[in-house]
């Protein structure tokens, strides 16, 4: 019987923050395209932070993907609260408008065009991603 111990490539955790024009990106995901056609991803938090475990060591190409926006017919409609003592002012109804200042340029969602690369060479790596328009 042949053992597999020692054959697997070492894995690392990569974490950091994603910025667009110096401001934290508050939604989306970071995708690593690793050697050997391995793809790993992590979600971007509301503070711009991401963390991706199980990243094979070696060179990775990086894509930053915006959150999926559903077409209007598939979006959940907000229910208006019941009126007890008069009409509800529109300023109290939450807005579902998309913040265009956070729109990630399309080139960053394609690893071949993003220009973002990293060499993962140790157990834990900090890597902040700076995007520009």
Which domains are present in the chain?
11-67+84-131 (2.60.40.10)
Q: What is the pLDDT along the chain (133 residues), one digit of tens a residue?
A: 444 444 567 999 999 999 999 999 999 999 999 999 999 999 999 999 999 999 999 999 999 999 877 666 666 665 555 555 554 444 444 444 445 556 889 999 999 999 999 999 988 999 999 999 8
Contact 99, 84 (CB under 8 A): no
How far apart (Å, rounded) are the C-alpha atoms in residues 17 and 127? 7
Q: Name the DSSP class of 13.
A: E
Closest to 20 measured CA to CA, from 12, 30, 10, 11: 30
3-state secondary structure of 33: strand
**Reduced to 3 DSSP states, what percent helix, strand and coil does the chain have, rounded to the nearest 5?**
15, 40, 50
């Amino acid at each position: 019987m042949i053992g597999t111990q020692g054959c697997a490539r070492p894995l690392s955790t990569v974490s950091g923050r994603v910025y667009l024009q110096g401001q934290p990106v508050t939604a989306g995901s970071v995708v690593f395209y690793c050697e050997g056609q391995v793809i790993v991803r992590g979600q971007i938090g509301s503070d711009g932070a991401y963390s991706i475990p199980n990243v094979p060591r070696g060179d990775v190409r990086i894509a930053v993907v915006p959150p999926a926006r559903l077409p209007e017919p598939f979006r959940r409609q907000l229910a208006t609260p019941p009126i007890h003592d008069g009409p509800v002012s529109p300023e109290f109804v939450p807005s579902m408008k998309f913040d265009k200042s956070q729109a990630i340029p399309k080139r960053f969602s394609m690893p071949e065009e993003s220009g973002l690369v990293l060499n993962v060479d140790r157990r834990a790596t900090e890597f902040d991603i700076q995007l520009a328009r």
